[in-house]
Amino acid sequence: MKIAIVAGMFPKISETFIVNQITGLIDRGHEVTIIASEKAEKAVQSDVVEYQLLERTLYPKPLARSKFRRLLDFAIDWLRVEPRHALASLKLAAPWDSPGLQRFYFWSLFQSREFDLIHCHFGFMGRTIADFESRGLLSSPLITSFHGVDIGSAANCEDYRLLHTIGTRFTVNSQFSANRAIELGCPADRIELLPVGVNLPAFRFSARTLQPNHTLRLLTVGRLIKSKGIHIALEAVAELANRGIDIHYDIVGDGPERIALERQAREENVTFHGALLRPEVVELFEKSHIFVLPSLSMEGQSVGMEGQGLVLQEAQAMGLPVIASRCCGIPEGIIEGESGLLFKAADSSALVDCILELRDAHKRWADFGKNGRALVERKFDIEKLNDRLVSIYQDTALVS
User: What is the reported pLDDT for 299?
Assistant: 52
Same domain, 265 and 135: no
**What secondary structure does DSSP assign to 210-228, as a single string?**
--TTPPEEEEEES--SGGG
Distance CA 176, CA 260 (A): 30
CATH number at residue 147: 3.40.50.2000
Query: Are residues 246 and 226 located together in one domain of the fold?
Result: yes
pLDDT tens digits for range 127-174: 999 999 999 999 999 999 999 989 988 899 999 999 999 999 999 999
Pairing label, strands 216-221, 290-293: parallel
Same domain, 178 and 313: no
- pLDDT value for 301: 45
Q: What is the tens place of the pLDDT at every residue in 284-322?
A: 999 999 999 999 975 544 445 889 999 999 999 999 999
pLDDT, residue 8, reads: 96
**Structural domain containing residue 144:** 2-59+109-197+382-399
Q: In what order do the strands lie in the sheet with 31-39?
A: 57-58, 31-39, 2-10, 117-121, 142-146, 169-172, 191-193
Residues 307 and 173 in one domain: no
Task: Please count the structural domains in the chain.
Answer: 2
In a domain, 99, yes or no: no
Is 355 part of any domain? Answer: yes
- 298 with 193, same domain: the answer is no
Examine the domain organization and report whether 172 and 258 are in the same domain. no
Per the prediction, the chain carries an average pLDDT of: 95
C-alpha torsion sign, points 312, 316, 320, 321: positive
Mean pLDDT of the 341-357 span: 98
Task: Give the model's pLDDT for residue 40.
Answer: 84
Mean pLDDT over residues 88-108, rounded? 96
177 and 36 in a single domain? The answer is yes
Per-residue pLDDT tens digits for 14-60: 899 999 999 999 999 999 999 999 998 766 788 999 999 999 999 99
Within a domain: 77 = no
pLDDT tens track for 56-66 = 999 999 999 99
The answer to whether residues 193 and 206 belong to one domain is no
pTM: 0.94
155: left (phi over 0), alpha (psi -120 to 50) or beta: beta
Q: How far apart are CA 231 and CA 247, in angstroms?
A: 16
Region 212-237: what's the mean pLDDT? 96
Whether residues 47 and 183 fall in one domain: yes
The whole-number average pLDDT for the span 204-213 is 95
Q: How far apart are CA 154 and CA 326, in angstroms?
A: 20
Residues 128 and 12 occupy one common structural domain? yes
- Domain membership of residue 93 (yes or no) is no
> Is 177 exposed, middle or buried (CB count within 10 Å of its CB: 0-12, 13-18, 19+)?
buried
pLDDT bracket for residue 399 (50, 70, 90): confident
Is residue 158 a part of any domain in this protein? yes
50 and 180 within one domain: yes
Res 43: pLDDT: 66
